[in-house]
Each structure stands twice: as structure tokens, then as C-alpha cells.
């Protein structure tokens, strides 16, 4: 049922070349993009486009992020083997799979029940085993499993949720696209219980991080 052919693999290597040209350097991130069968994370009607560097629609009016964006955020996280990583917005599970490939223990939250269920079953089938997938509101993080070494938000946040900053270890990193129509990729590094270093990167476009659904 899940086919990954030489043609898919070839296209995936071309995609890796494309994101190298766009500036991604982290070898482990590039290896993950080259390995994960992105076409399986998408609706079969989009399969032919799976290795273009573009976002595409998935269920529940959401999108699978652009590979370059996934790589950019993953690179900024600087993940080390065995770290606890919280992802907000499981979506298709593609970014989740990249984090698993990087050796992270992944906790991920999704607020669309349909996607949560579908992606949970799918990741299990193709052999990716995040530590914990949760159906709920990402603005609140996952206090029961905090603190985290790294936190990644994969939807556009109108503001930086306080709970997420609070659930970061000292020395930990939060990568979050902040803004309404356009988002600025922002990195927070926790310097002490009360201090954060903030660095801004370029503009990106995400579907919105929605509030108060549940």
C-alpha cells in the first residue's frame, strides 16, 4: 500500500539539492529530508507534487509545510539525540517524522481531531514513534511533560504564548513564526528562569495557530 519507488527517491534527492541552494546546511536535517517519503504524508491526488518545495493542502483545511520551512525550523532547533521536543501543530506528521529522524523524543499537539486521529495511525504504520501525540490546544503546551529542551510551533502565532516560554528548560530553544498575515520566524533561547534571547529571521507564511476551539 505504501510505495516508495526509485523515482520517489530520485525526486527526493533533487528536493534536497533545492533546499541546499536555498541555504540549508545541517547535514542531519538534509539527511532526514532525503530519507522521509513525503509523498505518503499527502493526499494521493497531490502525490506528483510531493517533492516540489511547496506547501500543500491536507485534511481539515490545513497544510503540510514547505520542505524548506521544515528544514529551516529544524536547523534552528539544533536538536541533539534524546532531547525532549514539543511540536505544536502535528498536521500531516511530516515535521514530526523529521524530528524523530533527528533522534528527538517528540511530543506533538494537534487541535483538529480528524488530523490527530489520522496522523497518529499513519505515523505508527510507517514506523515513526513519537513519544506522545495529543489532541488539544497548543497555546497551553503540555504541562504534564514539561520542561522541554526544544519547542517548535508549526502554525502562525499572533503572539508568543507565555505557557510555551514557561515550559522551556534553561538553555532550551523555542522556534515560532510570529505574526498575523505574514510571520517572522523567531528564535527564543532561555538564558535563565527570567531571561530570553530573541533573534528574528525572515518572513514565512503559515496557516494560523487558532485559539479557543475546544
Beta bridge partners of 88: 109, 153
d(C-alpha 122, C-alpha 84), whole Å: 22
Which residue from 73, 74, 95, 167 is in contact with ligand SAH, where contact means CB under 6 A? 95
Number of residues that this document lists for the chain: 214
Which residue from 12, 38, 39, 111 is in contact with ligand SAH, where contact means CB under 6 A? 111
Q: Which is nearer to ligand SAH, 62 or 84 (CB)?
A: 62
What track of x and - describes contact with ligand SAH for positions 171 through 210 (by CB under 6 A)?
Answer: ------------------------------------x-xx
Q: Which is nearer to ligand SAH, 18 or 60 (CB)?
A: 60
d(C-alpha 76, C-alpha 129), whole Å: 23
- Asked if 52 interacts with ligand SAH (CB under 6 A), we say no
Rounded alpha-carbon distances, angstroms, from residue 148 to 32, 111, 119: 22, 20, 22
Which listed range, 14-22, 92-100, 176-184, 186-194, lies at the site for ligand SAH (CB under 6 A)? 92-100
Q: How far is the CB of 144 from ligand SAH (least distance, A)?
A: 16
Show the CA angle centred on residue 194, arms to residues 188 and 200, nearest 5°. 20
Q: Which is nearer to ligand SAH, 15 or 64 (CB)?
A: 64
Which residue from 29, 42, 56, 110 is in contact with ligand SAH, where contact means CB under 6 A? 110
Is the four-CA dihedral 72, 76, 80, 83 of positive or negative sign?
Answer: negative
- Asked if 76 interacts with ligand SAH (CB under 6 A), we say no
d(C-alpha 211, C-alpha 138), whole Å: 9
Which residue from 56, 94, 107, 148 is in contact with ligand SAH, where contact means CB under 6 A? 94
| Catalytic residue (one of 65, 74, 92, 108) | 65
**Closest by CA position to 64, among listed 106, 30, 23, 33:** 33
- Catalytic residue status for 65: yes
d(C-alpha 126, C-alpha 169), whole Å: 31
Q: How far is the CB of 193 from ligand SAH (least distance, A)?
A: 25
Is the four-CA dihedral 10, 126, 100, 161 of positive or negative sign?
Answer: positive
* C-beta atoms surrounding 117 within 10 Å: 14
Annotated catalytic residues are 65
Query: In the complex, which residues of this chain contact ligand SAH (CB under 6 A)?
Result: 62-65, 88-89, 91-92, 94-95, 109-112, 115, 137-139, 154-155, 207, 209-210
Amino acid at each position: 500500500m505504501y510505495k516508495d519507488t526509485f523515482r520517489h527517491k530520485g525526486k527526493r534527492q533533487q528536493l534536497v539539492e533545492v533546499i541546499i541552494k536555498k541555504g540549508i546546511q545541517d547535514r542531519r536535517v538534509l539527511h532526514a529530508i532525503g530519507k522521509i517519503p513525503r509523498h505518503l504524508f499527502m493526499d494521493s491526488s497531490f502525490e506528483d507534487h510531493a517533492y516540489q518545495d511547496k506547501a500543500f493542502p491536507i485534511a481539515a483545511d490545513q497544510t503540510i509545510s514547505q520542505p524548506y520551512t521544515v528544514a529551516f525550523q529544524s536547523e534552528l532547533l539544533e536538536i541533539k539525540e534524546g532531547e525532549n521536543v514539543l511540536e505544536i501543530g502535528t498536521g500531516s506528521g511530516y515535521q514530526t517524522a523529521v524530528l524523530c529522524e533527528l533522534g528527538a523524543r517528540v511530543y506533538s499537539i494537534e487541535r483538529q481531531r480528524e488530523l490527530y486521529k489520522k496522523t497518529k495511525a499513519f505515523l505508527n504504520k510507517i514506523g515513526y514513534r513519537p513519544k506522545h501525540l495529543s489532541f488539544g490546544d497548543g497555546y497551553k503546551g503540555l504541562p504534564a511533560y514539561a520542561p522541554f529542551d526544544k519547542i517548535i510551533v508549526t502554525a502562525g502565532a499572533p503572539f508568543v504564548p507565555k505557557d510555551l516560554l514557561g515550559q522551556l528548560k534553561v538553555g532550551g530553544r523555542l522556534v515560532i513564526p510570529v505574526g498575523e498575515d505574514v510571520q517572522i520566524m523567531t528564535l527564543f533561547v532561555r538564558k535563565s528562569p527570567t531571561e530570553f534571547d530573541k533573534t528574528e529571521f525572515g518572513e514565512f507564511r503559515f496557516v494560523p495557530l487558532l485559539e479557543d476551539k475546544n
